[in-house]
Homo-oligomer: A and B are copies of this chain.
Amino acid sequence: MRAALLTGWRAPLEIADIPDPGCPADGVVLRVLACGICRSDWHVWTGNDPVALPHVPGHEYCGVVEEVGPQVTGWKSGDRVIAPFILACGSCPDCRQGHQTICANQALPGFTRPGAFAERIAVPHADANIARLPEGMEPALAAALGCRVTTAWQALTDRAALAPGEWLAVHGGGGVGLSALLLARALGARVVVVDVVPEKLAYARQLGADAVVNAAETDAAEAVREITGGGAHVAIEALGIAATTVAAINSLRKLGRMVQIGMPAGEHLHMKLPMDAVYAGQLALYGTRGMPGWRYPSLFNLIEGGHVDLTPL
């Protein structure tokens, strides 16, 4: 089959003919319908997140089942499906509780195994992870959900349990931030978006943000507290940067909840945080990463119900 190959750091991908993937006993082979791209792919491309070369990137994909492993019970040839970027094992104690994102035996196509910038992709642990695409949904839209929409969905509905009528402060107006904006609006929250780029803020406004704050021009935390009448109920940090995390914490009202969506890297692995504010404000800080595959149906039902238009992403 034809695939896009990474053969050296920061080198252009090469289109090459490589062998078709074999079908895992507990997995499926998909004919790829669409594959998205995100910042994580860039980390692979630069070698920051090192992989074995040559490598097929691509972790945001959907496709049609072409082959089915003998242990798979839930899928058959012809099914249109999507998979989360974390392919959990499905049988460890964590998976059995529904906590697939912390599975110790997870497979990561596009990172630790060949991804979806190819005609076909092998997806192990199919029963544990993949989900059926709604009938009318375009593959391009499904792939565009990528890891950003699913991660935001998990952060808002599982980790922070954002409630309708609450205020959300989104710190960082990139892909995951705008995903959080759109989803939060769809579930009845009010949203203020913080960034330093005027164009991003204008776009956030256009997508329905109740308010925007330019952190280059004002104290973002104070501005959010002012707009929300005392502080946001929930804040999202979408960059993985210490200063933004501090601002997110300080933008909360008492008993507020902050979710760290941005992956800390480099000098930001460890962050100096205002624990006096966490203590006195009785705040909650949550880490989050990925989304279990079983949560796709609720997200698809939201989309099919016409609650959110994700095409702007």
Contact = CB atoms under 8 A, between A and B. Distances in A.
Interface of A: 25-26, 71, 73-74, 89-102, 127-128, 157, 159, 163-167, 183, 185-190, 210, 240, 242, 245, 254-255, 260, 263-264, 268-289, 292-294, 297-302, 304-305, 307-308
Contacts of A288: 279, 282
Contacts of A164: 157, 183, 186-187, 298, 302, 307
Contacts of A157: 163-164
A231 B114 CA distance: 32
A94 to B, nearest CB: 7
8 closest cross-chain pairs (CB), A and B: A165-B298, A91-B127, A98-B98, A102-B254, A96-B294, A278-B287, A164-B187, A187-B188
A161 B167 CA distance: 18
Copies of this chain in its oligomeric complex: 4
Q: Do most interface residues of chain A lie in helix, strand or loop, or is the interface mixed?
A: mixed
A94 B254 contact: yes
A270 B273 contact: yes
Nearest to A71: B71
A279 to B, nearest CB: 4
Contacts of A25: 71
A241 to B, nearest CB: 10
B301 A26 contact: no
A24 B281 CA distance: 28
A273 B273 contact: yes
Contacts of A89: 73
A248 B145 CA distance: 35
Given A186-B188, A242-B275, 12 more contacts: A73-B91, A74-B92, A91-B127, A102-B255, A102-B282, A164-B186, A165-B299, A165-B305, A190-B301, A190-B305, A283-B286, A285-B286
